[in-house]
Structure 1
Amino acid sequence: MPETDAPRHAHVLIIGSGPAGYTAAVYAARAMLRPVLIQGGQPGGQLTITTDVENWIGDTTVQGPDLMLRMEAHAREMGTEIVSDIVTALDLSRRPFTAVCDSGARYTADAVILATGAQARWLGIASEGLFQGFGVSACATCDGFFFRGKEVVVVGGGNTAVEEALFLTNFASKVTLVHRRDSLRAERILQDRLFRNPKIELAWNAEVDEILGTDSPRGVTGVRLRSTTDGGLRVLPADGVFIAIGHVPASELVRGQLPLREGGYVEVEPGSTRTAIRGVFAAGDLTDDVYRQAVTSAGMGCMAALDAERFLAAVAPDAIAAAE
């Protein structure tokens, strides 16, 4: 839709398409609010780059991408309009709120549910950016196939790092997990699998000082590690480096418009998804720096839709009745 066209109006505009966004869409659609969901740059969110999900209730094991496709289908079946686009600007200064998309499409909304999730956190060293896409990645399920029979490094100590290391053993000949401490934060069951895997080695008390490689052709040849105990340096040969040190909330759209907590998380009222602006709600990893699970994100998506429904019933009952 050209930007000169009149914007489309939605009672509820949902921005983001992870478990929080899709669950909010299902509940909003059930409330006959005719929600519009804009998927963003990574439809399905972080679970689309996850392999085995073993903690989604009702499924002993499910593939992350399959689970997200099911959520999307559910939201569509309930009546959600799902738009493949990216919101690039959001004006929350007055209601109806206004969103502008990468395609030029514009939307106004009586209520907005923010479910933009989180993005991979990077180390922040120059050589990391130089080799992104040329041996440096933040997604093992996306790029692991390219490292068949090669040696790779995974950086991190939480669930994501251990899961990525285990997944990469399906392709790589050797996986070294680099962690700046002498113990992991990952769940015990994941640690047990890691320690039992003969393809995985641990580099304790170490951090990446620099990623080494060649310019022509561009590619990774190793990492220089710095000891966190004595500062000593050593080089570890590697063909690929996977960064798995957590995520940062994708709150750029509302920075300067909504209060953010430390780390960039959107602040909501305790026990709700209400933000500082009436009619704007936030759910999932965008607000959660404690649990950060798919099931808790989905629960918050449900809460956001119910909060939005109550808000709209109070401020625009005639419009909602007309939509029904």
Structure 2
Amino acid sequence: MERHQVMILGTGPAGLTAAIYAARANLKPVVVEGNEPGGQLTLTTEIENFPGFPDAIMGPELMDNMRKQAERFGATFVHGWATAADLSKRPFRVTVNDEDEYEAEALIISTGASAKMLGIAGESELIGRGVSTCATCDGFFFRNRPILVVGGGDSAMEEATFLTKFASEVTIVHRRNELRASKVMQERARNNPKIKWALNVTPVSVQSQDGKVSALEVKDNETGETRTLPTEGLFVAIGHQPNTTFLNGQVELDSVGYIKTQGVSSATTVEGVFACGDVMDPHYRQAITAAGSGCKAAMDVEKFLEGSSSHDWSMSSAGAH
């Protein structure tokens, strides 16, 4: 069984930034890449809002650069997925791929949150080619084009309203006549002249032309008839699921499953275990905020290993989030 000072779970912007900082601190972190090395950014095309790239950069290229930077300072990588963890005592024990076991004095969890998908034909094949789960990331690419947003909750209303800044029109598609969104968010969307509605319909398949999204096929829930809704962009906004099931409730989570951290820090309710990125952030979910939280996690780990475990993490009046 391999034993390390620091183990980092996940290789999105948070995990890789944590790896860079931890490696530069000579902590020799081992990083578990996950089933999608690079995280959700590897599913995007151009990234225009990450500082330092005035001409944009491709998502996979940015993640590859971060990985190489971490390797340069001494981080090592293990391909696989954390399937179980024993956080009852130090060193912590993590199982990868249900078979390989590792021990670590400190653990950084940056396993992210996976966007919930519709699971319909054509959806996964067209991610990055018109199908998106992030309005903030991709809305700019749909200037003056018709867009569909699937969902009926607050996140769908928020994304649809945001997308009206770019799109010629935004149609909200929902399987029921009633929305789950709060009254305030519903009213905001209904009062926006650019937002149209396709309610009580169930998405059936995503259609394409020349390798890009061209329409969404839907079934009318009353008549059973199908029809197509032409579009150049399909935004799926039915929520995210934090990747925390492998923890088996050993750290405190919120009602959805996001890890709770202490005050302004990355510390969890288990001493020596830290969290960063989308696995603890249900609000921002941006590459740059994830990277910043990865930096915090690595610095918190360094202090912890130096013997600063008595540090008061709740230095913010905001408390845990």
Shared fold, TM over 0.5? yes
For 1:207-250, what per-residue CA distance to the aligned partner results, in whole angstroms no more than 9, with x for missing partners?
5743447xxxxxx9821256xxxx89873327999662142211
| Residues 1-324 of structure 1 aligned to structure 2 (within 5 Å) | 7-60=1-54, 61-102=56-97, 104-123=99-118, 128=119, 131=120, 134-137=121-124, 140-141=127-128, 144=129, 158-159=135-136, 162=139, 166=142, 177-179=148-150, 185=159, 191-195=164-168, 202=171, 204-207=196-199, 209-212=201-204, 222-224=217-219, 235-237=226-228, 244-245=236-237, 246-314=239-307
Letter in 2 for 1:236: R
Q: Distance in 2 between matches of 1:157 and 1:256?
A: 28
The alpha-carbon deviation at position 186 of structure 1 amounts to: 5.9
The alpha-carbon deviation at position 122 of structure 1 amounts to: 3.0
For 1:274-308, what per-residue CA distance to the aligned partner results, in whole angstroms no more than 9, with x for missing partners?
00000000000000112211111111111111111
SS at match of 2:70: helix
Q: Distance in 1 between matches of 2:288 and 2:279?
A: 14
The alpha-carbon deviation at position 103 of structure 1 amounts to: 6.6
Indicate conservation of the 8 Å contact 1:16/1:38, yes or no. yes
- 1:149 aligns to what? none
Q: Distance in 1 between matches of 2:61 and 2:132?
A: 27
Letter in 2 for 1:136: E
Letter in 2 for 1:263: V
SS at match of 2:159: coil
Q: Distance in 2 between matches of 1:180 and 1:242?
A: 11
Q: Which runs of 5+ in 2 are unaligned?
A: 173-195, 206-214, 310-321
For 1:116-150, what per-residue CA distance to the aligned partner results, in whole angstroms no more than 9, with x for missing partners?
01112135xxxx4xx4xx42338622xx4xxxxxx
For 1:89-125, what per-residue CA distance to the aligned partner results, in whole angstroms no more than 9, with x for missing partners?
11111111111111722100000000001112135xx
SS at match of 2:167: helix
Indicate conservation of the 8 Å contact 1:25/1:75, yes or no. yes
The alpha-carbon deviation at position 158 of structure 1 amounts to: 3.7
The alpha-carbon deviation at position 38 of structure 1 amounts to: 0.5
Indicate conservation of the 8 Å contact 1:179/1:207, yes or no. no
Letter in 2 for 1:48: T
Indicate conservation of the 8 Å contact 2:171/2:198, yes or no. no
Indicate conservation of the 8 Å contact 1:160/1:244, yes or no. no
Q: Kindly tell me: are residues 57 and 253 of structure 1, through their superposed partners in 2, closer, same or farther at Cα, counting changes over 3 Å?
A: same
The alpha-carbon deviation at position 262 of structure 1 amounts to: 2.7
SS at match of 2:18: helix
Q: Which runs of 5+ in 1 are unaligned?
A: 1-6, 145-151, 214-219, 317-324
Q: Kindly tell me: are residues 306 and 186 of structure 1, through their superposed partners in 2, closer, same or farther at Cα, counting changes over 3 Å?
A: farther
Q: Kindly tell me: are residues 186 and 272 of structure 1, through their superposed partners in 2, closer, same or farther at Cα, counting changes over 3 Å?
A: farther
Q: Kindly tell me: are residues 221 and 16 of structure 1, through their superposed partners in 2, closer, same or farther at Cα, counting changes over 3 Å?
A: closer
Q: Distance in 2 between matches of 1:11 and 1:156?
A: 36
Q: Distance in 1 between matches of 2:72 and 2:263?
A: 32
Indicate conservation of the 8 Å contact 2:277/2:289, yes or no. yes
Letter in 2 for 1:119: S
Q: Distance in 1 between matches of 2:11 and 2:46?
A: 19
Indicate conservation of the 8 Å contact 1:161/1:244, yes or no. no
For 1:5-27, what per-residue CA distance to the aligned partner results, in whole angstroms no more than 9, with x for missing partners?
xx100100000000110110111
Indicate conservation of the 8 Å contact 1:178/1:207, yes or no. no
Letter in 2 for 1:253: F
Q: Distance in 1 between matches of 2:114 and 2:98?
A: 22
Q: Kindly tell me: are residues 234 and 73 of structure 1, through their superposed partners in 2, closer, same or farther at Cα, counting changes over 3 Å?
A: same
Between the aligned residues of both structures, percent identity stands at 35
Q: Distance in 2 between matches of 1:45 and 1:70?
A: 14
Q: Distance in 1 between matches of 2:136 and 2:79?
A: 30
Q: Distance in 2 between matches of 1:11 and 1:50?
A: 33
Q: Kindly tell me: are residues 253 and 180 of structure 1, through their superposed partners in 2, closer, same or farther at Cα, counting changes over 3 Å?
A: closer
Q: Kindly tell me: are residues 56 and 158 of structure 1, through their superposed partners in 2, closer, same or farther at Cα, counting changes over 3 Å?
A: closer
Q: Kindly tell me: are residues 187 and 37 of structure 1, through their superposed partners in 2, closer, same or farther at Cα, counting changes over 3 Å?
A: farther
